[in-house]
């Protein structure tokens, strides 16, 4: 964790105050941040930034998050950078698990945002890489607990029809509630059309010491066994302090020196060159449970051992002073208020709190009509609702504040001439435009 660069780093992003730099990679920069309380704007912010509100408003106002922003030099120099960043947002949003950070907010349309960003849950703890390098390799119990947590994380990721493709010790954070898998920058749909994929055939993406041979040769066509291999390579590092193949995957066996004997049968099956010969996640889980039983340990005892080891190592990053107080600098709060006012002008603050799913009707264009990018997909266009009939009052569902579900089938109005002609506020038009484009292209990441 490093102080902000006052010349390069923004102070405020959306409704968040940036506090420190957590790290950066080829695609983005990650910051520690916290929510800035802005009175009277919660519903509007929720609609504009897809902000997920907590039931406990007071704690949510000072909740720490990680804000990830696209590298500024990629905005003009890398044509696919925005789309890749948008797909990372979609990947984080799709996976719901205690082993994956929750998405908190995001800029809806990375294609048009000045500098795309998203915010996710902050996990307080060191990475697995840091823990092993500083405190030494893990024992049987903690390593098996780590493996079971990674199985849970990959199950959730694969359940969302995604692959991680970059599981490694640096992308495993050991938080207070156990290991959490982060960084979906290379995530990809398992079932994707070739025309939708951003990775080219024959190109290897990921981290060489932790990727299997098939990913090194052609990352576009890998499947679940690639993530299983990365799980095994991560456990190998946890036991030895080194990856199985420091310079990249090889068809031969790795050097097993330092690997705990009880882990040899499992890792010997996982770290093989042929993906079809690797066990699936269920088999990996069974092997880990058998391994714990052989060591006279339960999964809970092993998890407690891992948690105690992390706490005793004292490697959790130290937070900056601003993160330890609820006080927000008035100058920062004013800066955030001005930025949001500039982004969403002329809006009634109560407008977004009144949006509900039955207040918007959707009209589909004729089937086969080309949309804006010429794909031929039908587009969805919001139209004004019919005025409510006094003699037949309709029950109103509970309002939603931050997310609109996919459009329902349109109903034909009895009298089209009676539709309301008044245009919605500009902020509502902005949200509607984003929804039109997202739902028109919702089938791919």
Q: Give the CATH number for residue 98.
A: 3.30.200.20
Which pLDDT value is given to residue 82?
Answer: 76
Same domain for 334 and 298?
no
Answer yes or no: do 89 and 144 share one domain. Answer: no
- The span from the CA of 7 to the CA of 338, in Å, is 20
In a domain, 6, yes or no: no
Residue 5 counted as domain residue = no
Of 163 and 357, more confident: 163
More confident residue, 61 or 124: 124
Q: What single DSSP character describes residue 326?
A: S
Q: Is the pLDDT of residue 231 over 90?
A: yes
For 141-165, what is the mean pLDDT? 95
User: Higher-confidence residue: 43 or 149?
Assistant: 149
- In this structure, are residues 82 and 116 in contact, taking their beta carbons and an 8 Å threshold? yes
DSSP track, 197-214: -SSPTT---S-GGGS-HH
Does 7 map to a domain?
A: no
Tell me what the mean pLDDT of segment 337-355 comes to: 53
Token reading at 438: 């997202």
Active-site annotation holder among 43, 152, 166, 227: 166
Specify which of 201-205, 306-310, 422-426 reaches the highest per-range mean pLDDT.
306-310
| Whole-number pLDDT of residue 335 | 81
Domain that holds residue 402: 350-445
Pair (118, 89) in one structural domain = yes
Task: Sort strands 16-24 and 28-35 into parallel, antiparallel or unpaired.
Answer: antiparallel
User: Can you give the three-state secondary structure of 130-184, one letter per residue?
Assistant: HHHHHHCCCCHHHHHHHHHHHHHHHHHHHHCCEECCCCCHHHEEEECCEEEECCC
Q: Do the beta carbons of residue 191 and residue 140 sit within 8 Å?
A: no
For residues 166 and 278, state if they share a domain.
Answer: yes
Mean pLDDT taken over the chain: 76
**What is the number of structural domains in the chain?**
3
* Residue 184 confidence (pLDDT): 74
Q: What is the pLDDT of residues 365-396, one digit of tens each?
A: 333 333 333 333 333 334 344 445 455 555 55
216 against 417, higher pLDDT: 216
Known catalytic residue: 166?
yes
Please say if the pLDDT value at position 420 is more than 50: no
Query: Is residue 322 pLDDT above 60, yes or no?
Result: yes
User: What is the rounded distance in angstroms from the CA atom of residue 328 to the CA atom of residue 7?
Assistant: 21
Asked if residue 399 belongs to a domain, the reply is: yes
342 falls in which pLDDT band (50, 70, 90)?
low
| CATH number of the CATH domain containing 198 | 1.10.510.10
């Amino acid at each position: 964790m490093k102080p902000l660069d006052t010349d390069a780093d923004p102070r405020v992003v959306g409704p968040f105050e940036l506090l420190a730099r957590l790290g950066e990679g080829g695609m983005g920069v990650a910051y520690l941040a916290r929510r800035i309380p802005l009175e009277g704007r919660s519903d509007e912010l929720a609609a504009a930034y897809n902000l997920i509100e907590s039931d406990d408003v007071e704690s949510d106002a000072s909740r720490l998050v990680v804000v990830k922003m696209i590298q500024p030099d990629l905005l003009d120099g890398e044509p696919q950078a925005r789309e890749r960043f948008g797909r990372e947002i979609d990947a984080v949003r799709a996976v719901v698990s205690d082993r994956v950070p929750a998405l908190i907010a995001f800029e809806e349309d990375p294609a048009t945002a000045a500098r795309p960003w998203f915010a996710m849950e902050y996990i307080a703890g060191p990475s697995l890489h840091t823990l092993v390098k500083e405190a030494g390799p893990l024992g049987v119990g903690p390593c098996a607990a780590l493996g079971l947590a990674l199985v849970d994380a990959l199950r959730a990721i694969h359940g969302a029809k995604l692959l991680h493709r970059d599981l490694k010790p640096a992308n495993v954070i050991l938080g207070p509630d156990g290991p959490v898998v982060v960084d979906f920058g290379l995530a990809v749909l398992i079932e994707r059309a070739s025309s939708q994929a951003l990775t080219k055939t024959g190109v290897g993406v990921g981290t060489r010491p932790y990727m299997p041979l098939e990913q090194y040769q052609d990352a576009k066509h890998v499947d679940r066994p690639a993530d299983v291999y990365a799980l095994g390579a991560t456990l190998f590092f946890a036991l030895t302090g080194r990856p199985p193949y420091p310079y990249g995957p090889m068809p031969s066996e790795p050097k097993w020196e330092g690997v705990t004997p009880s882990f040899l049968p499992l890792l010997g099956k996982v770290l093989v060159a042929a993906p079809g010969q690797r066990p699936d996640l269920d088999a990996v889980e069974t092997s880990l449970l058998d391994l714990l039983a052989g060591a006279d340990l339960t999964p809970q005892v092993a998890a407690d051992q891992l948690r105690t080891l992390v706490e005793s190592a004292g490697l959790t990053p130290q937070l900056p002073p601003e993160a330890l107080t609820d006080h927000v600098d008035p100058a920062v709060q004013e800066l955030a208020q001005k930025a949001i006012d500039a982004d969403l002008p002329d809006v009634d603050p109560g407008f977004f709190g009144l949006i509900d799913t039955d207040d918007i009707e959707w009209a589909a264009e004729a089937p086969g009509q080309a949309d804006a990018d010429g794909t031929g997909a039908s587009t969805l266009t919001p139209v004004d609702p019919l005025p409510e009939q006094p003699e037949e009052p309709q029950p109103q569902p509970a309002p939603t504040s931050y997310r609109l579900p996919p459009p329902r089938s349109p109903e034909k109005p009895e009298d089209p001439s009676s539709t309301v002609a008044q245009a919605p506020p500009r902020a509502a038009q902005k949200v509607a435009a984003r929804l039109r484009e997202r739902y028109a292209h919702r089938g791919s990441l």
